[in-house]
Amino acid sequence: MNQEITTAELRERLEAGEKLNLIDVREVDEWQDGHIAEAKLIPLSEFTERLDEIEKNDQPIYVICRSGGRSGKVCSYLAPQGYNVVNVQGGMLAWSGDIVTGE
């Protein structure tokens, strides 16, 4: 079972100034339509090739997508490899915080 966090909890942590490792696994066009400023884009279609960009340490890695499905798959993929991953429930559809558009 993957660890999960709500978008409200994630927003509270970001607004409190916590430095979180947040990865958005949506595709580039979805990212450009709006994303969380602190997120890093690693599209699911490129994920296995870009695995070296993800630090494996004790810090949790928060994974978000549009609705929580793709991020759940990524968490299920990373967790057995020793990554501390947390799926963002509901994804960007549930996000009520600020978003950035474009690059």
Query: pLDDT for 31-53, tens place per residue?
Result: 999 999 999 999 999 999 999 99
Angle at 101 between CA 63 and CA 76, to 5 degrees: 10
Residue type, 18: E
The single residue of 23, 63, 65, 86 carrying the catalytic annotation is: 65
Q: How far apart are CA 12 and CA 50, in angstroms?
A: 29
Confidence of residue 25 (pLDDT cuts 50, 70, 90): very high
Confidence of residue 55 (pLDDT cuts 50, 70, 90): confident
Q: How far apart are CA 61 and CA 83, in angstroms?
A: 8
Q: Is the pLDDT of residue 85 over 80?
A: yes
Across the chain, the runs of DSSP E, i.e. the strands, are: 3-5, 21-24, 40-41, 61-64, 85-88
Residue 96 CA to its chain's centroid (Å): 15
Is residue 86 a contact partner of residue 78, using CB atoms and an 8 Å limit? no
Is residue 22 a contact partner of residue 64, using CB atoms and an 8 Å limit? yes
Please state which CATH class domain 3-94 belongs to.
alpha beta
Average pLDDT (8-24) is 96
For the chain, what are the domain ranges?
A: 3-94
Average pLDDT (87-94) is 98
Is residue 75 among the annotated active site residues? no
Confidence of residue 74 (pLDDT cuts 50, 70, 90): very high
